């Protein structure tokens, strides 16, 4: 049995065996191309359309508003591209702590399409300053895209997407919310939200990698981002990832079915780690909002910076503990988390611990033993 401790579930999660079981027949028996007209093809088509209906019903959407993509990055690129090219957005308001899938896409349009890009002010704990957002929305008649994530993958902070949506509606702005860290972890009822686009990625909730969705509100019509065949009702060309689609749907179904008990379990593990860290380390801080509006799956910890903690990520890895310094892209190199930098925090050695239903308090005990020697 692996002695590794995996506390990096915001980067990716292991697949649930039930999800894998549901996917298997689509690797073997149901291999038909959904665009083929004979029975193999029709069976695949049916599986996709049933999956779309299921996902839509789980998220309070209409099936025609759900598009399967390769994941969160493609979904956000598609939404931002469409908002600029088809919905006439000339200005983007975003935040400096978005995932790079959003941040770099916005910067691309600023550089190559002359789009005005503004950063909303952040409160000291990393929450979005809604008053500043409203001030910016009211200050210009330019058609604006607001792209603000639902929950931050490094800090855990949760933004009130209902409130942001209402502001966007008031000022006639397009709203894209990166919900990659919340779909499958929180109930989301799109029929109650003023949001034009949301995104999801199944590898964040025990589904396969390389499959996600873009929700596009029926009123927000955009052109495809990927051109070719007419798949996904002409919105996303390319032969469908059927086993991925089936896996995404099964993973979402299971996650939402068991949400309350899993949340309770994960919160128990997270709070236990917090308690033990506070007892064992003087001068430790928790980054972001670690109280009310924060993911139960994420704990961002600032260890006091010294000779030992400078090498913390490396030493944790040597001791078979898998964690990140920030997002997965910067894991292993304890430098340059753009999120931590944006908060202007005093120097610290940042470790993001992120949890899943498979983690236990016993793993926290083992982690604390390791930390006792390396921090």
Catalytically active residues are 329
Q: How far, CA to CA in Å, does 285 sit from each of 275, 299, 335, 342, 348?
A: 12, 10, 18, 17, 9
Q: How many other C-beta atoms are found inside a 10 Å radius of the C-beta of residue 119?
A: 17
Site for ligand PLP contains 153 (CB under 6 A):
yes
Find the shortest distance in angstroms from Cβ 324 to ligand PLP.
10
Among 80, 149, 235, 367, binds ligand PLP (CB under 6 A): 149
Among 55, 164, 167, 180, binds ligand PLP (CB under 6 A): 180
Cβ atoms of 65 and 215 closer than 8 Å: yes
Contact window for ligand PLP (CB under 6 A) among 174-182, 233-241, 265-273, 347-355: 174-182
Question: Toward ligand PLP, which CB reaches closer, 212 or 244?
Answer: 212
Q: How far is CA 159 from CA 95, 131, 152, 178, 299, in A?
A: 12, 13, 8, 11, 16
Tally of helices (H runs) and strands (E runs) in the chain: 12, 12
Question: Measuring CA to CA, which residue among 197, 172, 163, 170 is closest to residue 183?
Answer: 197
Q: At closest approach, how far in Å is the CB of 266 from ligand PLP?
A: 17
Per rule CB under 6 A, count of chain residues that contact ligand PLP: 13
Which of the ranges 49-57, 70-78, 138-146, 235-243 carries the binding residues for ligand PLP, by CB under 6 A? 70-78
- Per-residue binding string, ligand PLP, 197-216, x by CB under 6 A, is ----x----------x----
Site string for ligand PLP, 78-107 (x = CB under 6 A): ---------------------x-x------
| C-alpha span between 360 and 362 (Å, rounded) | 5
Q: Which helix (H) or strand (E) holds 41?
A: helix 39-59
CB of 323 to ligand PLP, least distance (A): 15
144 or 182: whose CB is closer to ligand PLP?
182
Residue 118 as a binder of ligand PLP (CB under 6 A): the answer is no
Burial call 307-332: b when 16+ CB within 10 Å, e when fewer: eebeebbebbeebebebbbbbeebbe
Three-class SS of residue 136? Answer: helix
Residue 66, both tokens: 């759900």
E strands, the chain, are: 5-6, 66-69, 91-94, 116-119, 144-147, 174-177, 197-201, 212-216, 285-286, 298-303, 321-322, 349-354
Phi, psi of 351 (to 5 degrees): -130, 125
Using rule CB under 6 A, residue 244 touches ligand PLP: no
Regarding 71 and contact with ligand PLP (CB under 6 A), the answer is yes
- At its nearest, how many Å lie between ligand PLP and the CB of residue 178? 5
Binding piece for ligand PLP, criterion CB under 6 A, among 28-36, 173-181, 253-261, 359-367: 173-181
Q: Rounded to the nearest whole angstrom, what is the least distance from the CB of residue 364 to ligand PLP in the complex?
A: 23
Residue (295 or 371) nearer to ligand PLP, CB: 295
Query: Does 302 participate in binding ligand PLP (rule CB under 6 A)?
Result: no
* Residue (197 or 277) nearer to ligand PLP, CB: 197
Interaction between residue 348 and ligand PLP (CB under 6 A): no
Query: Does the protein bind ligand PLP through residue 181 (CB under 6 A)?
Result: yes
Q: Which two tokens stand for residue 43?
A: 């069976």
CA atoms within a 13 Å half-sphere pointing along the CA-CB vector of 346: 8
Select the residue interacting with ligand PLP from 8, 118, 178, 289 (CB under 6 A): 178
Query: Which residues, at least 6 apart from 302, have a Cβ–Cβ distance to it below 8 Å?
Result: 284, 285, 286, 287, 345, 348, 349, 350
If one asks whether residue 15 binds ligand PLP (CB under 6 A), the answer comes out as no
What residues line the site for ligand PLP (CB under 6 A)?
Answer: 71-73, 99, 101, 149, 153, 178, 180-181, 201, 212, 328
């Amino acid at each position: 049995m692996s002695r590794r401790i995996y506390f990096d579930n915001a980067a990716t999660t292991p697949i649930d065996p039930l999800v894998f079981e549901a996917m298997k027949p689509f690797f073997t028996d149901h291999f038909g191309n959904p665009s083929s007209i004979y029975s193999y093809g029709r069976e695949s088509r049916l599986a996709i359309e049933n999956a779309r209906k299921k996902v839509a019903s789980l998220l309070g959407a209409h099936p025609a508003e759900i598009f399967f993509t390769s994941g969160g990055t493609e979904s956000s690129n598609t939404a931002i591209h469409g908002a600029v090219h088809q919905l006439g957005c000339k200005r983007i308001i975003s935040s400096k702590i978005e995932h790079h899938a959003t941040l770099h896409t916005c910067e691309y349009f600023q550089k190559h399409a002359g789009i005005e890009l503004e950063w909303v002010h952040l409160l000291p704990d990393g929450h979005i300053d809604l008053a500043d957002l409203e001030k910016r929305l009211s200050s210009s008649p330019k058609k604006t895209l607001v792209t603000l994530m639902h929950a931050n993958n490094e800090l855990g902070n949760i933004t009130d997407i209902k409130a942001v949506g209402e502001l966007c509606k008031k000022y006639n702005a397009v709203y894209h919310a990166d919900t990659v860290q919340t779909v499958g972890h929180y109930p989301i009822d799109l029929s109650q939200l003023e949001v034009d686009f949301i995104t999801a990625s199944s590898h964040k909730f025990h589904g396969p990698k390389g499959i996600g969705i873009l929700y596009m509100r029926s009123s927000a019509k955009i052109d495809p981002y990927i051109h070719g065949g007419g798949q996904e009702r002409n919105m996303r060309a390319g032969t469908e990832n059927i086993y991925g689609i089936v896996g995404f749907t099964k993973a979402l179904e299971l996650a939402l079915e068991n949400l309350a008990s899993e949340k309770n379990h994960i919160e128990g593990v997270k709070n236990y780690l917090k308690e033990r860290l506070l007892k064992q380390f003087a001068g430790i801080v928790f980054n972001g909002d670690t109280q009310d509006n924060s993911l139960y799956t994420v704990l961002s910890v600032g260890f006091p910076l010294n000779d030992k903690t400078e090498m913390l990520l490396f030493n944790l890895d040597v001791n078979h503990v898998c964690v990140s310094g920030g997002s997965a892209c910067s894991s292993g190199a304890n430098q340059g988390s753009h999120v931590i930098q944006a908060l202007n925090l005093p120097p610290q050695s940042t470790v993001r611990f992120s949890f899943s239903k498979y983690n236990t308090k016993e793993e926290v005990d083992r982690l604390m033993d390791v930390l006792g020697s390396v921090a």
